[in-house]
Amino acid sequence: MLAPGTLDPCLLTTPATLPVLPMKYFEMVDIVTSGTESAPVYDWQVGDRHYTLTPSTFTKWQLFPHEQTLNIDGEVAQHPFSRERLENERNALLYIARNTKIPVPRVLDLSDVDGVGCLTMEALHGAILINILDDGNEHLRPTEKATLKRNANSFMYDIVLPELRRLRSRNLGQLGDVVFPPPRVSAFDDRP
């Protein structure tokens, strides 16, 4: 249970907040104006995904052809099961939302745009816990940082982990029809 006056740890780290990287890695691509308020739209690419964060949505994209990177041989890097991984993430979010009390972003859409798969979910706003607890953060007193860390740990150990432990399934693999290996395995597998 949270102590009165403390921050809800659900607001401390969410899948839809910017990753822990300096802001120079993110390109602000637009400003969205709604009524009298304006908010930035952020766009970035990491590995085999392209991400877009607006004030209300967070979208994960497969890479468009012009965004694909080259491997060390100068060939377009292959990302097997990229679309299936988006489907699996959607299925996992829906399953967790339906079967637990763990707060997860609401899935808005899984679709294709010009042949590229994208998963759009609601944007959850908050601060990333590591950024708050960083020693360079002068805005919080050590006692406040300790309280935030305690709340986050309590949330994980008292809510998230017990909820996940009680889930049971007779199926091996993902929540959909296709079972695919992790990238560290498929990188060494030459089968089609």
Q: How far is CA 5 from CA 8, 23, 62, 125, in A?
A: 9, 30, 41, 19
With a cut of 50, say whether residue 6 has pLDDT above it.
Answer: no
Give CA–CA dist 160/143, Å, rounded: 24
Q: What residue segments make up the domains of the chain, in order of their start? A: 9-168
> Tell me: the pLDDT tens digits for 101-113?
999 999 999 999 8
Token digits of residue 154: 């309590």
117: closest CA among 87, 77, 156?
A: 87
pLDDT of residue 102: 93
13 falls in which pLDDT band (50, 70, 90)? Answer: very low
For residues 178 and 62, the model is more confident at: 62
pTM passes above 0.75? no
Say if residues 50 and 63 touch (Cβ distance below 8 Å). yes
For residues 15 and 49, the model is more confident at: 49
> Tell me: the pLDDT tens digits for 26-47?
455 555 555 555 667 788 888 7
For domain 9-168, the CATH class is alpha beta
